[in-house]
Amino acid sequence: MAFAAVAMAVAGIVIANTFTVLVAQRTRTLALLRCVGATKAQVRRSVRLEALVLGVVASLAGIGVGLGIGQVALSVIGRRAEGVPAPTTVPIDVATILVPLVVGILVTVVSASGASRLATSVAPLAAMRPVDAVVSERSRRLRPIIGWILTGGGLALMVGALALSLASGEGGGTFELTLLAGVLGGIVSIVGVVMAAITIVPALGRVIGRLAARVGGAPGRLAATNAVRNPRRVTSTATALLVGVALVTMMSTGAAMAREQMGRELDEQFAIDVVVGADSLSPATVDAVSDVDGVAATLLVTGGQLDVTTPNRSAIATVFVADPARIGEVLATAPSDWDGSTVLADGYLLDADGPVTLADGTSLDGAYLPGLPDYSVLVSPQVAAGLDIDSPAESLWIALADGADPVAAASAIRDAVSETTAGTDAAAPRSPAERSRRPASRRCSTRCWP
């Protein structure tokens, strides 16, 4: 919704600039209409009617194009990504059609209202001159003042959003309020800059014009003179360019933020790239997997079942024992300052830092760590030395190199495991009775986490 609001605001600015330029180009035509008897209300209605027709046609076209792109995207997902829970067709209801249609029409008509007032703000004979020559002195003075006030207010809102975001990292503030303040501040500041551009653009034009005159000679002086001869027209052109660049920058920034946020969420949910598990893993298997192209680091982790009690619940958890000095090589969310004296638990067992009581009654400080397997805890070898862990097993945690193909790497890891366990007892299938006596399979299994 935030990006939709920003997109509507930017679209409104573009529409307003477009209609302002159109009215400026039609000044003589509108003046002739006034001379032959057209009233101000009729001229105003003509501009608004044009905006209404444009809004209806453009909104309907946008709805059709949007539905078409959505359907194409669903078709590609259905063919290329089997198993993804996505509908086969774009769901369409009354709100899907009416909401964008009404919003598009309102934004277009409201954005063109300024141009409609400009078309009727001059007398018939005065309108025969360029529009800049007949703009009221009050508008010249009031517009920049309002623009600078809005710019300052928007910047203040964005600074407040930044401060609120920093406070939320320490437990205060909320994400929704921060996002609302930031988006509102951005919209207000953009509108302010557009209104104040009548004082910014000519000033910059004069400064740059002096440099162009020195470098370019007579053509440079002529260009500099023409650039500041009609300040409002130059400002309108520069503002349209500013809005376009701002829109592209906003979309690029939004896409980068979305990629970063998605990567961070995936790291928290799937902190381990690949896991190879078995009752025991031979050194040959570990070495073979470590030599696979695309594997950046491996860590042999022991583990088993243990009763664990936390403020959230009591449960039989999987206990993983790992070296604190190396866990960061394979676990994306591992804290860099973990010294092994605390127990790291997943979100099902511990949703906030708190005590963790192990089966022998030992109570240790616990910390929530995203990315661990469900109902599992991570302890150091020193803590595990005094524990009686049931059904001990080994697993090899693997981190893939940046840029590695995860599908190819997972396939190569499976091949390496199969080649080093083929013909051994670890690779031999067992009877149902043997499997029922021991929950952990003696065959090596490879699991890939996206």
pLDDT value for 203: 83
Percent of the chain with pLDDT over 70: 85
In this predicted structure, the answer to whether residue 423 has a pLDDT above a threshold of 60 is no
Amino acid at 387: L
Following DSSP, what letter does each residue of 76-93 receive, concatenated?
HHHHHSTT----SS----
Mean pLDDT of 241-270: 75
Q: The tokens of 19 are what?
A: 């209609």
Taking the complete model, does pTM exceed 0.75, yes or no? Answer: no
**pLDDT one-digit tens code per residue, 261-298:** 777 777 777 788 888 988 888 889 999 999 999 999 99
**pLDDT one-digit tens code per residue, 371-385:** 888 888 898 888 888
pLDDT value for 292: 92
pLDDT value for 412: 92
Residue 88: pLDDT band (50, 70, 90) is confident
pLDDT value for 102: 93
At residue 90, φ and ψ (nearest 5 deg) are: -70, 120
In this predicted structure, the answer to whether residue 259 has a pLDDT above a threshold of 90 is no
Mean pLDDT of 116-123: 73
Q: The tokens of 302 are what?
A: 């022991």
Q: Are 147 and 197 in contact (CB under 8 A)?
A: yes
pLDDT value for 428: 36
Mean pLDDT of 35-61: 89
Mean pLDDT, the chain, rounded, equals 79
**pLDDT one-digit tens code per residue, 134-182:** 455 566 678 888 989 999 998 998 888 888 877 765 444 466 778 778 8
Following DSSP, what letter does each residue of 400-448 receive, concatenated?
EPTT--HHHHHHHHHHHHHHHHTTSTTTS---HHHHHH-SS-SS-EEEE
Mean pLDDT of 74-89: 73
CA distances from 8 to 58, 107, 111, 323 (A): 14, 7, 11, 53
**pLDDT one-digit tens code per residue, 181-192:** 887 888 888 888
Among positive and negative, which fits the CA dihedral 293, 298, 304, 308? negative
Give the closest residue to 279 by CA, choosing from 430, 382, 67, 415.
430
Mean pLDDT of 396-415: 89
Residue of higher predicted confidence among 57 and 223: 57
CA distances from 318 to 284, 308, 321 (A): 26, 9, 10
